[in-house]
Amino acid sequence: MSAVDFLAKEKIWFDKPRYDEAERRFYEHMNGSPQPTKDAGANTILQDIARARENIQKSLAGSTGSSISSNSADHGELVSRIKSLELENQSLHKVVENLRAALSKLECRVSVLEKSPAAVSPASAPAPSVPYTNGTAVQQKTSTPAKEEEEEDDDDIDLFGSDEDEEADKLKEQRLKEYAEKKAKKPAIIAKSSILLDVKPWDDETDMAKLEECVRSVQADGLLWGTSKLVPVGYGIKKLQIACVVEDDKVGTDMLEEEITKFEDYVQSVDVAAFNKI
């Protein structure tokens, strides 16, 4: 018989649940009924639950007692604070009453002092002391300011006049005339400015000597040309930087730019590089 035929006839693998159930019953029968073990486990759980309830009740009772004690302590503290505040309030009332009394006394004193100068009459003022010499009173001279001023005015009046006043007037007029003549001869200050111009050519082939000659050919009253130099700009191109001094009332920068830019064959543009008052 082959192994395949033996396994085909064997039924143990197909009836395994039945054999497991039979084995379980056998062991239960050998060890006794499992019901008491289940009851014992339930009893232990119930005991644990009862103990937990007791602990919760005890904790609640302790918390209520502590809350009552804390409430009583807080109440006592509030009562003590209220008493202290009442004492402070009473002391403040006393201080306020004392201040009011002192203020009323001060007001009375001030009112008395304000009334006292008005009550004093001129008759009650002390009479001026009169000096005595050898038992006889010396009469003091009293003069008012108005009388003193009148006496001074009388002294200043010169009925006959004097030649000194006329001479003083002539001398004054002569000095004023000399001052006016001297002031007229004094030259007036002329406002001048120093200007530095940047004259740019069209390209590097422009004749810079001819360009400078054209710039210096610009002449005007109050214009004086100064030194000049060539400053490289880039790509072989150089600009003419030339200085001049001008009178502000006669020559301006606009006039210089307009006159120089007339040489269109040599000049591309004119810029003011610096401008300073002299």
Domain ranges of the chain: 195-277
Q: What superfamily would CATH give domain 195-277?
A: Ribosomal protein S6/Translation elongation factor EF1B (3.30.70.60)
Q: Which residue has the tokens 């302590």?
A: 73
Q: Which has more confidence, 231 or 150?
A: 231
Query: Cα dihedral sign for 188, 193, 194, 200?
Result: negative
pLDDT band at 155 (very low <50, low <70, confident <90, very high): low
Query: Cα dihedral sign for 230, 232, 236, 240?
Result: negative
Q: Is the pLDDT of residue 128 over 70?
A: no
Whole-number Å distance between alpha carbons of 253 and 168: 55
What is the rounded average pLDDT for all residues in the chain?
77
Q: Which has more confidence, 261 or 30?
A: 261
> Which two structure tokens, joined as six digits, stand for 114?
């304000």
Whole-number Å distance between alpha carbons of 245 and 192: 7
Q: Are 272 and 195 in contact (CB under 8 A)?
A: yes
pTM of the model: 0.35
Q: Is the pLDDT of residue 232 over 80?
A: yes
Q: Which has more confidence, 93 or 30?
A: 93
Angle at alpha carbon of residue 166, lines to 160 and 168, rounded to 5°:
125
Q: Which residue has the tokens 């009925």?
A: 159
